[in-house]
């Protein structure tokens, strides 16, 4: 049997709450995570026929706790360790305490744990999607185009590293840096969903939706943090364009050519309100600046009526606050819209020796666009084709090849 969408969404929402409740009380993150995954599988198997329980969260905590008891009993029988036997005795009472255990939402603490500095970036991404997002190992593997066995090993190693990690928010001295890691991981998850790095589809709404859901969880916990608000606003404003970004057959539609009536007005309103509030009350940060740029795009009736001068100023500020080659790429396009393509190409030339973009298709793609605007069609065509060879996204590849063909 298959789950209906509402039940599937509920299970993903409850996953971090159940895992947080178990880990907060008992530790053993790796064993708790395995037990929660088994409880989710049991729900997916039983609920379609028996119906959703009155307290889904309590049901999951009870089932996961029993799975954990069984695992600890097996360990105790094998190793005869007194420590395991003592912990096992504590677990036996867990099912009766299911609702009390779930009184608080530990999603933020769990996010900090999954983004622990001892883990690599790819491991942080994978573990966040698994433990906090509720995605299966297969779903995560497909999202990042690696074999399921590879992703399973990555997640297993990450859990082993966190075996003895404390389930608690970091100390005040580490909090700002750790929060930035959490926000960066959510940002990467969103970007991978919004423009999938490879494969047949331009975007994956399951990943963007999950990133937005998790960003909302962080925002609920930290409503006054300007960068948290900025990131959520950026996601909402960017995702508002999702339906207009592709044609019915999946072909890419650039921003200037999108039908803005298809943009999500409610998401735009929410995003603008979030970033406006953050800019008024909080210290300025990179996510707020990116959200402010997205808000200017979202509020403009057309590309020509966009406040490009303000966008150039914001990119200049962003480039000083958080230098990044992708910021320079986008700034070059904005400068071209204000001062002409030659000026944009001058900005772009700053990146010619940047090794971070040596194999990235976007440098050639932007150069091709600016050369086309300048009327240098032969050079633009060569840049488009170079970009098409580098990208592994089929929709982007087709778009770039079509641009080159149009200039032949």
How much is the average pLDDT of 225-254?
Answer: 96
The pLDDT of residue 56 is above 80: yes
The pLDDT of residue 206 is above 90: no
The pLDDT of residue 197 is above 60: yes
Domain positions in the chain are: 1-104
The pLDDT of residue 365 is above 90: yes
Contacts of 397 (CB under 8 A, 6+ apart): 388, 391
Give the per-residue pLDDT at 240.
Answer: 98
Q: Where are the alpha helices (DSSP H) in 93-167?
A: 98-101, 107-114, 121-127, 137-143, 148-161
Higher-confidence position of 195 and 297: 297
Higher-confidence position of 334 and 83: 334
CA dihedral 191, 196, 202, 207 (to 10 degrees): -60
Q: Three-state SS string across 340-387, please?
A: CHHHHHHHHHHHCCCHHHCCCHHHHHHHHHHHHHHCCHHHHHHHHHHH
Are residues 274 and 233 in contact, defined by beta-carbon separation less than 8 angstroms?
yes
Q: For residue range 67-112, list pLDDT tens digits in order.
A: 887 887 776 555 554 445 444 444 444 444 545 554 567 888 999 9
Are residues 152 and 95 in contact, defined by beta-carbon separation less than 8 angstroms?
no
Place 28 in a pLDDT band, splitting at 50, 70 and 90: confident
Kindly state the tokens that stand for 122. 């790819």
- Residues above pLDDT 90, as percent of the chain: 63
Give the per-residue pLDDT at 57.
Answer: 92
- Residues above pLDDT 70, as percent of the chain: 92
Place 334 in a pLDDT band, splitting at 50, 70 and 90: very high
Residue whose entry in the numeric block shows the structure tokens 């592709």: 246
Q: For residue range 139-192, list pLDDT tens digits in order.
A: 888 777 788 999 999 999 999 999 888 888 888 888 888 999 999 999 999 998
What whole-number distance in Å separates Cα of residue 3 and Cα of residue 47? 8
The pLDDT of residue 339 is above 60: yes
Are residues 295 and 264 in contact, defined by beta-carbon separation less than 8 angstroms?
no
Residue whose entry in the numeric block shows the structure tokens 């926000």: 183
Q: Give the distance from CA 165 to its chain's centroid.
A: 24
Whole-angstrom Cα Rg for the chain: 24
The pLDDT of residue 310 is above 80: yes
């Amino acid at each position: 049997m298959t789950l209906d969408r509402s039940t599937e969404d509920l299970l993903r929402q409850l996953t971090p709450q159940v895992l947080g409740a178990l880990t907060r009380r008992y530790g053993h993150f790796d064993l708790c995570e395995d037990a929660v995954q088994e409880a989710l599988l049991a729900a997916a198997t039983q609920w379609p026929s028996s119906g959703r329980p009155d307290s889904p969260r309590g049901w999951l905590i009870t089932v996961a706790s029993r799975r954990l008891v069984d695992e600890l009993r097996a360990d105790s029988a094998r190793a005869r360790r007194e420590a395991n036997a003592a912990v096992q005795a504590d677990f036996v009472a867990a099912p009766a305490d299911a609702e009390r255990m779930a009184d608080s939402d530990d999603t933020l603490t769990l996010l900090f744990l999954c983004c622990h500095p001892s883990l690599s970036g790819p491991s942080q991404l994978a573990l966040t999607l698994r433990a906090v997002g509720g995605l299966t190992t297969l779903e995560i593997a497909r999202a990042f185009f690696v074999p399921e066995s590879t992703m399973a090993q990555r997640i297993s190693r990450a859990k082993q590293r966190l075996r003895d990690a404390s389930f608690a928010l970091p100390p005040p001295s580490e909090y700002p840096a750790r929060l930035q890691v959490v926000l960066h991981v959510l940002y990467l998850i969103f970007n991978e969903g919004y423009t999938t790095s490879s494969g047949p589809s331009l975007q994956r709404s399951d990943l963007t939706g999950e990133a937005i859901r998790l960003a909302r969880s962080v925002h609920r916990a930290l409503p006054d943090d300007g960068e948290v608000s900025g990131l959520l606003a950026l996601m909402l404003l960017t995702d508002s364009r999702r339906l207009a970004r592709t044609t019915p057959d999946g072909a890419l539609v650039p921003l200037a050519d999108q039908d803005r009536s298809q943009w999500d007005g409610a998401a735009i309103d929410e995003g603008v309100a979030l970033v406006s509030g953050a800019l008024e009350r909080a210290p300025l940060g990179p996510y707020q600046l990116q959200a402010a740029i997205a808000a200017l795009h979202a509020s403009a009736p057309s590309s020509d009526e966009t406040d490009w001068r303000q966008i150039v100023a914001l990119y200049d500020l962003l480039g000083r606050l958080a230098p990044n080659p992708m910021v320079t790429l986008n700034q070059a396009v904005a400068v071209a819209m204000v001062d002409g393509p030659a000026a944009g190409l001058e900005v772009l030339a700053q990146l010619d020796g940047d090794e971070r973009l040596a194999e990235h298709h976007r440098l050639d793609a932007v150069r091709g666009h600016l050369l086309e605007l300048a009327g240098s069609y032969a050079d633009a065509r060569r840049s488009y084709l170079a970009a098409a060879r580098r990208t592994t996204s089929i929709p982007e590849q087709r778009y770039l090849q079509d641009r080159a063909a149009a200039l032949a």
